[in-house]
C-alpha cells in the first residue's frame, strides 16, 4: 500500500530519459510536475539522462512519479533501481513493466489467458532469413503490421500494404530493435481504455475511440497534429463499451500491472471482435494524451489524476523501504 503523506514527501518526477520517446516524456513529465506542484506537493523534475539515479537516495526523495516512456523507464530497469533504493514509485512493478514493454512476451501471456490478440510472427535476429521473411505475407496476409517489439508510441511501426513495402518496413523496425514482430492487420476501429488500481480492485475508465487521418495513428499524429479525433464518450454501444473495459482489466491483471495503465485495442469491423494490441504501463500525460481525457470523462481532473496515481506509489516488496 502507499505510504504517501503530502506533508512529509519529496517527490521526483522522472522525465526525459534516453529512449526514442524522450521528447514525449519531457512533455508528460512537465505536465505532471506542474499539476503536483499546484496541489501542494514538494515535487521536482529529475531527468535520468542528466542525473545519476543514485542522487534520488542521496537527496532523500521519498517517492518517484515515473513519467518516462519506452526503454530505460517503462521496461522495468528504473523500477528495479527504485526497488533497490527503497523509493516507492508509480505504475507497474519490475516484472509487469518488463513484460508489457516486450510485445511478444505480452502476447504470449495474453494467449495463455485466452485473451484475443492479432495473429503474429516473431523473428529474432537469427531467424530473419529470406525464407522466414517470405512467409510473413503468406501467413499473415496483406495488409500487415511490422513493428519493433520493444518500442512504444508507434515508433518504427509500418502498415505494409504490398510486397514492395516489406523490406523497407523491416529495415526501419530492425534499426530500432534487433527483434522483429509482424502482426495481422485488423481492419476496424481503434480504441483505448485506461485502467487504474491493482489486482481485484483494478477498474477501467471510459473508453476513448481514436479516429485518425487515413487510419494512420502514428507518432506524428499522436503528439504533433490536431488532425486526430478522440471520442470520449466513445459512441460505442453500452454493452460493447463494457466488454472493452472488461477485456482491458483482464489484460492488465494478466500482466500483473498496478497503479495505472492503458490498453490499446482494435475492434474488427466484420464481426466487432476486439483484439488487444499492447498495454502501456507509463502512458502519456501530454495535452494530446488519452488517459487524462478518459479520466476527465469520469469526473477526474488532470491534477486529481496525478494525485491519485502518486498516492498509489509503492514497491513490489516493502522489505528494505527507506524511512522518510
Split into its structural domains, the chain has a count of 3
Read off the pLDDT of each residue in 60-89 and give the average, rounded to a whole number.
96
301 and 192 share a domain?
yes
Residue 252 structural domain? 102-114+187-306
Catalytic residue chosen out of the listed positions 234, 280, 303, 312: 280
221 catalytic, yes or no? no
207 and 299 share a domain?
yes
189 catalytic, yes or no? no
- Comparison of pLDDT for 234 and 153, the residue scoring more: 234
Q: Whole-prediction pTM value?
A: 0.91
The cell for 306 is 496525478
Q: What is the DSSP string of 143-203?
A: SEEEE-TT--TTTT-EEE-SHHHHHHHHHHHHHH-SSEEEEE---EEEEEEEEEEEGGG-E
Question: Which pLDDT score is estimated for 21?
Answer: 87
Question: Which pLDDT score is estimated for 324?
Answer: 31
Cα 272 to Cα 114, 214, 243: the distances in Å are 17, 20, 11
68 and 205 share a domain?
no
Catalytic residue chosen out of the listed positions 25, 28, 120, 153: 153
241 catalytic, yes or no? no
Question: Which pLDDT score is estimated for 42?
Answer: 98
225 and 166 share a domain?
no
Question: Which pLDDT score is estimated for 203?
Answer: 98
Of 69-78, 150-159, 174-183, 241-250, the least confident: 150-159
Question: Which pLDDT score is estimated for 172?
Answer: 95
Q: Is residue 150 part of a domain?
A: yes
CB 232 within 8 A of CB 208: yes
252 catalytic, yes or no? no
What does the alpha-carbon distance between residue 259 and residue 197 come to, in Å, rounded to a whole number? Answer: 5
Per residue in 193-231, is it b (16+ CB within 10 Å) or e — as a string? bbbbbbeeebebbbbbbbebeeeebbbebbbeeeebebe
What does the alpha-carbon distance between residue 91 and residue 66 come to, in Å, rounded to a whole number? Answer: 7
Catalytic residue chosen out of the listed positions 75, 264, 282, 312: 264
The cell for 182 is 509482424
The cell for 3 is 505510504
50 and 19 share a domain?
yes
At 92-123, the pLDDT tens digits run: 999 999 999 999 999 999 999 999 999 999 99
Q: Is the pLDDT assigned to residue 307 strictly greater than 80?
A: yes
Question: Which pLDDT score is estimated for 20?
Answer: 84
74 catalytic, yes or no? no
Catalytic residue chosen out of the listed positions 223, 234, 248, 256: 223
223 catalytic, yes or no? yes
Residues in the chain: 324
278 catalytic, yes or no? yes
68: helix, strand or coil: coil
What does the alpha-carbon distance between residue 129 and residue 132 come to, in Å, rounded to a whole number? Answer: 5
At 24-34, the pLDDT tens digits run: 999 999 999 99
What does the alpha-carbon distance between residue 294 and residue 305 come to, in Å, rounded to a whole number? Answer: 10
Read off the pLDDT of each residue in 137-144 and give the average, rounded to a whole number.
96
Question: Which pLDDT score is estimated for 91?
Answer: 97
Q: What is the CATH number of the domain that holds 143?
A: 3.30.1490.20
Helix boundaries (H) for the chain:
22-38, 54-58, 77-85, 94-101, 103-112, 130-140, 163-176, 219-223, 238-255, 290-297, 302-311
What does the alpha-carbon distance between residue 233 and residue 154 come to, in Å, rounded to a whole number? Answer: 24
34 and 179 share a domain?
no
Question: Which pLDDT score is estimated for 196?
Answer: 98
240 catalytic, yes or no? no
Catalytic residue chosen out of the listed positions 278, 289, 294, 303: 278
At 216-245, the pLDDT tens digits run: 545 555 545 567 899 999 999 999 999 999
Catalytic residue chosen out of the listed positions 21, 83, 183, 241: 21
237 and 196 share a domain?
yes
Amino acid at each position: 500500500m502507499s505510504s504517501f503523506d503530502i506533508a512529509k514527501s519529496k517527490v521526483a518526477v522522472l522525465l526525459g530519459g534516453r529512449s526514442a520517446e524522450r521528447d514525449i516524456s519531457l512533455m508528460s513529465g512537465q505536465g505532471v510536475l506542474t499539476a503536483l506542484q499546484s496541489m501542494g506537493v514538494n515535487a521536482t523534475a529529475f531527468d535520468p539522462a542528466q542525473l545519476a539515479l543514485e542522487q534520488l537516495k542521496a537527496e532523500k526523495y521519498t517517492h518517484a512519479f515515473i513519467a518516462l516512456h519506452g526503454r530505460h523507464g517503462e521496461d522495468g530497469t528504473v523500477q528495479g533501481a527504485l526497488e533497490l533504493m527503497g523509493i516507492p514509485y508509480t505504475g507497474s512493478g519490475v516484472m509487469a513493466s518488463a513484460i508489457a514493454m516486450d510485445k511478444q512476451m505480452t502476447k504470449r501471456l495474453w494467449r495463455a489467458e485466452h485473451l484475443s490478440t492479432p495473429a503474429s510472427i516473431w523473428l529474432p535476429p537469427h531467424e530473419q532469413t529470406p525464407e522466414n521473411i517470405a512467409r510473413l505475407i503468406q501467413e499473415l496476409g496483406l495488409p500487415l503490421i511490422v513493428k519493433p517489439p520493444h518500442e512504444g508510441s508507434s515508433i518504427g511501426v509500418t502498415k505494409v500494404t504490398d510486397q514492395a513495402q516489406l523490406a523497407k518496413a523491416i529495415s526501419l523496425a530492425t534499426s530500432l530493435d534487433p527483434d522483429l514482430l509482424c502482426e495481422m492487420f485488423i481492419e476496424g476501429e481503434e480504441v483505448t481504455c485506461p485502467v487504474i488500481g491493482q489486482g481485484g480492485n483494478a477498474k477501467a475508465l471510459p473508453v476513448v475511440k481514436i479516429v485518425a487521418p487515413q487510419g494512420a495513428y502514428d507518432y506524428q499524429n499522436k503528439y504533433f497534429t490536431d488532425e486526430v479525433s478522440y471520442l470520449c464518450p466513445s459512441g460505442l454501444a453500452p454493452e460493447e463499451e463494457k466488454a472493452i473495459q472488461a477485456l482491458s482489466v483482464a489484460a492488465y491483471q494478466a500482466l500483473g500491472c498496478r497503479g495505472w495503465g492503458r490498453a490499446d485495442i482494435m475492434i474488427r469491423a466484420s464481426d466487432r471482435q476486439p483484439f488487444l494490441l499492447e498495454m502501456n504501463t507509463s502512458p502519456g500525460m501530454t495535452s494530446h494524451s488519452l488517459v487524462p481525457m478518459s479520466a476527465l470523462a469520469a469526473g477526474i481532473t488532470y491534477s486529481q489524476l496525478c494525485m491519485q496515481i502518486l498516492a498509489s506509489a509503492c514497491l513490489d516488496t516493502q522489505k528494505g523501504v527507506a524511512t522518510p
